[in-house]
Chains A and B, each alone.
Chain A
Amino acid sequence: MNTSPEIILDCQKLTKTVVTGSGKSGAKPLTILQPIDLQVKSGESVAIIGASGSGKTTLLSILAGLDLPSSGEIYLKQKPMHTFDEEQRSKVRADHVGFIFQSFLLISSLTALENVMLPAELANDDNAKEQALEMLAKVGLGDRVDHFPSQLSGGEQQRVAIARAFVSKPDILFADEPTGNLDSKTGEYISSLLFDLNQQQGTTLVLVTHDQKLALRCQRQLTMDSGRFIEQQIMAEVS
């Protein structure tokens, strides 16, 4: 494990294998991630790009503590996530992690404000409401706080999701295709918002995207193919 405080996320020889099929054809193991090493520095922005099925979403799930690797080690804020159970990983997510999803995943029965308050409340923040209002104002939705998700456009919903992701000032933010469901103009606006807030708060950003333009705004781009980083492979061949 890299103990440098600069490294917020440290993965070593991370793999993921799932068992597919059953019945007459028999169970077959399918390797989704080949052994992967990855270090992300605090404040860094990293884009993971790759074709569909290359394993980028699976990697993101493991990095964010939503899933466990089949083998290898992963440390998030020096915490050995690969040894943690669901409850312990929940605690880490509540304390350090923010999310932005492709399909926004706002709670339809809560207003924009209440959606944004959610992570702050889960982190027992007394000023959840004030902070949520401030974040909504920052994403330009100060006048739509009482609207329900169904009353907002796709772009507006993603802005609420961004506000929700940043409100608890996470150390690291994971974004899964944040502009994937939006038209190009709205997508550009959303990505600017994302990077502006990221810069303002000094948050570490790990995003998965197909969008080359969005990826290029990150400090580092990692391309995945068949469950491994292509750059890593090249680097290994060179060395």
Chain B
Amino acid sequence: MPMWIKQSLRLFRHELKRGELTIICFAIILAVATVFSLSGFSQQIKSALVNESNSFIASDRVLQSSRPANESILIKAQEQNLQSVQMLLFSSMAFAQDEMQLVNVKAVEQGYPLRGELLIESDNGPVALSAPSKGSIWVDKSLLTKLSVEIGDSVELGAANLKIAGVINKEPDASFSVFTQGPRVFLNFADIEQTKVVQPGSRLTYRYLFAGEKADVDSFDDWLTPQVEENQRWYDIKSQQSPLASALKRAESFLSLASMLGILLAAVAVSVASKRYGQRHQPMVTVFKAMGANKNYIRNLYLLHWSSLSAFSIIIGLCVGFIMQYYALQYMASYLPTSTQASYWYPLTVAITTGLLCACAFAYAPLKELVATPVLSVIRGFNGFTSIARWQSVVPAISAVFVLLLLFSKNIILSLVLLLSTAVIVAVLVLFGRVLISLGRKIGSGAGQSLHLAIANLKRRAKQNNVQLVSFTIAIMLLLLMLVVRTDLIDEWQAQLPENTPNQFLVNINQSQVPKVEEFLQANELSASQLFPIIRGRLTAINDEKLLKKASKEQDDNSDNGRQGLGRELNMTWQQELPAENVVIEGQWFSETDNTPAVSIESKLAERLNVAVGDELSFQIGSEKIRIPVTSIREVNWRSMQPNFYMIFSAGVLADFPVTYIASMHVPSVNKQDFQQFLSSYPTISVIDVEAMISQLRTVIEQVSIAIEFILLLVVIAGSLVLVAQVQASMEERERELAILRTLGAKGSLLRNSTLLEFVVLGAISGLLASVAMEVAVFFIQLNVFEMATSFHGFYWFVGISVGALFVGSVGFMSCWRLLKLSSLTLIRRTL
């Protein structure tokens, strides 16, 4: 075996045992473990979230169409190993003896739902079933009351006579539209023909549900998307405009962002530690060279040394990452669906690549410099020798970070933005750091002895301190960023779903029932929205342009949320006051004194239809036609659990039309029975229970909050490691200075205080800069990534500055403590 192998392994073994490689090993271990657990964990969380949420569309993807879809689509799905089922949705009258009721029919095939569960009441509680057997139906409980029938009775639906075989407990892809017409009826797909409802001109909605492995679904998606016709809609849970989709998108964005920041910090730690690794080995290299070892010998020796170190750290990192992921998933097992299987291949590949990339890119410059250490240093000492151009150390490191970000996010724009903004922050920090330290010098000259010495030290080591300042600041900034975004995000979610979030919607309340409903709400002290009058009408023209085509689309009455299209009748209201969660962004809200007819339009619809304030809209309401000017454009928070409207008219415009009312309210479980009783006295009032969706939303928020805490912990560890590594890196230099000051007779207390103050000042400045940078970053993230209201975080400035001062101060002081305790003679011997 060549001698360099022996010597390299020997050196590695001893250094490892003696803890001399702890920081660098820990940095690589952390990078690998972070990436492993984060990619695995966030992957799991994401797929768990999506799985869970996909039950809201009963599948992974849905193709909705007003006509039967082309057979080739189903064949292709089968070829792609996707499961698929089809359903047909339509409204029809149901008859039982003398009673009749408009119902919402969903004809399903065996196999439905592909995601989530359809629960049907049974004697032993709810059971998960697929489709009713031929000749039978499952119905909403309210239908039993409305038609005065019981389970086992027969109901006429179109031309078919069908037996009620069960009551629906939970429908996975139930419509959350508060304007859905009539109770739900589940029908076997094979019975459609018997009902004879499918006639030319019937208003039908065909839905094709698809589910399968993500890769298969994605490739099917790629194939199908370009073929989607105008009368079709191809969507997944995230393309829905539901509160859940919004929470889900934000959660995913946060997980990706947090993971990327974690990786960025771990990379900074590796970079700092590898630089120190190079510097620490310089004396050894010169000794080897003086003894006659040539460049090749040293290059081989250190390449092997670094490879052993990297391999060792990557393996430990993988183990740690595996354990972290395992326990994190165990901890979250109750929140994850049982079907979720942990996959290790993806995180394993990403983590190993990260480890190798970090090990190669960050070590390139330090190792190159190390091998080139001049042998004369053995006599002359090591005076900050550099043998390579600055770009050689910067370019590989930046490229590695970019590749890592890209690897993780798979988003070139996001990676570039993150990298460039980090570069801008670094540049600004270097500038600010210089100015601040220079200002400090002026203030320091009038201060006490310890502070004066501390500030003099800072000034003298301005270059090294700038490097430290940048890494401290980045570490503190990322920590603050995580903390602030996490708090804001969770707060906003919780604000969105407060304790008394409306869980019931009452629709079809007629004018005469309004006082009774109000009375009931008051008597039971239920929190409820105001009662909104509803009128259905069709937008027929904008100014003089008729909207014939758009207004003739018919498939949307059964859509999930009823907001995506204009090709149907709109539910419109009138209000004197601007409803909560609505903000006028253009024009003026109706004036109390002015009774001129006017309409306010929702901003996204206005954008889609290219409607501006001052345009005139024509509506067909029943047989009447009205033409009204737009006086304001509103932004509406669709995530709020209250009735929201595209069109709000000024009071009086619709006064002569027959109306029904709608209200949302929170009914606590203790009041449920009274609520049911109240409703049974008013069978024409329909109720929509959104309790299930709210609890689902809460689960998602809970899952994501836990995931966020976990990532925050990793980011804190990575940040702390950067701080420790950076302080350690400056120790050798301090050793020499302390020796000199000691020799000159400086008192122990003076040295202790000045060292402590030096780190505290450095930490505080970093904290301040980090707070500024965090505020700017949070502003952009809130605005662009999470699309939420921006806010100022004064408290976190205080946290940033004090944590910076305390943490950097204490780590620095503790690292110096060892030196400060040494006797003058030992210090001098060690350094001179």
Contacts and interface: CB of A to CB of B under 8 A. Distances in A.
* Contact residues of B: prevailing secondary structure: helix
A121 interface: yes
B829 interface: yes
Nearest to A157: B829
B325 to A, nearest CB: 34
Interface range for B:
20 to 34
B417 interface: no
B10 A66 contact: no
B283 interface: yes
Contacts of A122: 3, 288, 291-293, 297
A107 B11 CA distance: 9
A166 interface: no
B20 interface: yes
Given A114-B10, A124-B3, A90 B292 contact: yes
Contact of B14 (A57, A99, A110, A121): A110
B550 interface: no
A60 B290 CA distance: 13
B376 A66 contact: yes
A121 B3 contact: yes
B286 to A, nearest CB: 8
B268 to A, nearest CB: 26
A97 interface: yes
Contacts, number: 85
B379 A60 contact: yes
B291 A101 contact: no
B378 A101 contact: yes
Interface range for A:
35 or more
A109 B20 contact: yes
B291 A94 contact: yes
Given A101-B378, A109-B14, A90 B294 contact: yes
Interface in A99-145: 99, 101, 103, 105-111, 114, 118-119, 121-124
B379 A119 contact: no
Given A57-B379, A66-B376, A109-B20, A119 B10 contact: no
Interface in B804-832: 829, 832
B293 to A, nearest CB: 5
Contacts of B288: 118, 122
A66 B375 contact: yes
Of A57, A90, A105, chain B has the most CB atoms within 10 Å of the CB of A90
A176 B292 contact: no
B7 interface: yes
B193 interface: no
B379 to A, nearest CB: 5
Contacts of B378: 66, 99, 101, 105
B292 A154 contact: no
A154 B829 contact: yes
A148 interface: yes
Contacts of B283: 105, 107
A67 interface: yes
B290 A99 contact: yes
Given A90-B289, A91-B294, A101 B379 contact: yes
Contacts of B297: 122
A124 B6 CA distance: 12
A202 to B, nearest CB: 20
B292 A97 contact: yes
B295 interface: yes
Nearest to B295: A87
Contacts of A103: 832
B10 A110 contact: yes
B376 A94 contact: no
B375 A86 contact: yes
A82 interface: no
A95 interface: yes
B292 A95 contact: yes
Given A90-B293, A91-B292, A107 B379 contact: no
Contacts of B11: 107, 109-110
A155 B286 CA distance: 22
A93 interface: yes
A91 B292 CA distance: 6
B284 interface: yes
A192 interface: no
Interface string A143-182: 0000010000010000000000000000000001000010
B608 to A, nearest CB: 66
Nearest to B3: A121
A92 B290 CA distance: 10
B447 interface: no
A104 B18 CA distance: 20
A42 B287 CA distance: 25
A199 interface: no
A86 B18 CA distance: 33
A61 interface: yes
B267 to A, nearest CB: 27
B6 A176 contact: no
Interface string B354-385: 00000000000000000000011011000000
B577 interface: no
A106 to B, nearest CB: 8
A99 B11 CA distance: 21
Interface in A44-88: 57, 60-61, 64, 66-67, 86-87
6 contacts: A60-B379, A64-B290, A66-B375, A105-B286, A119-B292, A122-B288
Given A66-B375, A105-B290, A124-B3, 4 more contacts: A61-B379, A66-B378, A107-B283, A111-B14
